[in-house]
Amino acid sequence: MIKYAVLIVCIAALVSCGRETGPDQMDSDLEKKSEIAQKAPDLKREKEKLMETDRLFSKVSEDKGFGEAFALFTAEEARIFQNKLMPIVGKETIVKFTRENVRGTITWEPYYVEMSSSGDLGYTLGKYQITVTSGSGKKGVSHGHYVTIWKKQPDGTWKLVFDSGIETPK
């Protein structure tokens, strides 16, 4: 029995070694927690900002064209994966490709956003629509779903770093 009492006292002494538990230490712990809370991003606000960015990206595509939208919203290190194509890598290559190869109007609407706990990386999921008018004036419409991965830039803006979509029935 005495062995157990000695063991408990030793464990308690080891646990308390090197730890201050007085008011000064508690104040210091509260200050550290407050600093961490102040540095933590407001994820709800950042998610809303990211959804707004994705919607603005679509609006620019509708108003100025797909290539111009990618010119404004793409990070230098971006990649695009499209069906039956090799990955398109780098902003300059992506903008050139979209300006030269995309015909018609592409619009989309995000319906889901998620973000890292650090608030500097996120993704949006959404639906897109492509409308193309042939030389004879006949309109063709296709639909699909997409995923875009976004990275927060040093200036606080969001730029896409990855984009891919799949065509689906309406």
Q: What is the pLDDT of residues 57-99, one digit of tens each?
A: 999 999 999 999 999 999 999 999 998 899 999 999 999 999 9
Please count the structural domains in the chain: 2
The two three-digit tokens of residue 97, written as one number: 């490709």
Are 35 and 100 within one domain?
no
Domain that holds residue 16: 2-39
* Exposed / middle / buried, residue 140 (Cβ in 10 Å: 0-12, 13-18, 19+): exposed
* Helix, strand counts (H, E) of the chain: 5, 6
d(CA 28, CA 130): 57
Could you tell me which residues come within 8 angstroms of residue 164 by beta carbon, excluding any fewer than 6 positions away?
A: 80, 81, 82, 146, 147
Mean pLDDT of 155-169: 96
Are 33 and 78 within one domain?
no
Q: What is the pLDDT of residue 7?
A: 45
Are 110 and 152 within one domain?
yes
Are 47 and 122 within one domain?
yes
Tell me the CATH number at 94: 3.10.450.50
Q: Is pLDDT above 80 for 43?
A: yes
Strand partners, 123: 114, 149
Angle at 131 between CA 128 and CA 133, to 5 degrees: 170
Q: What is the pLDDT of residue 164?
A: 97
Q: What is the pLDDT of residue 13?
A: 53
Are 99 and 30 within one domain?
no
Task: Report the chain's mean pLDDT, rounded to a whole number.
Answer: 86
Confidence of residue 10 (pLDDT cuts 50, 70, 90): very low
Are 28 and 97 within one domain?
no
In this predicted model, which residue has the larger pLDDT, 22 or 65? 65
Are 141 and 61 within one domain?
yes
Q: Which residue has the tokens 């090799």?
A: 86
Are 71 and 152 within one domain?
yes
Are 148 and 70 within one domain?
yes
* pLDDT single digits (tens) 110-146: 999 999 999 999 999 999 999 987 778 788 899 999 9
Are 6 and 83 within one domain?
no
The two three-digit tokens of residue 24, written as one number: 């000064």
Are 138 and 59 within one domain?
yes
Are 150 and 95 within one domain?
yes
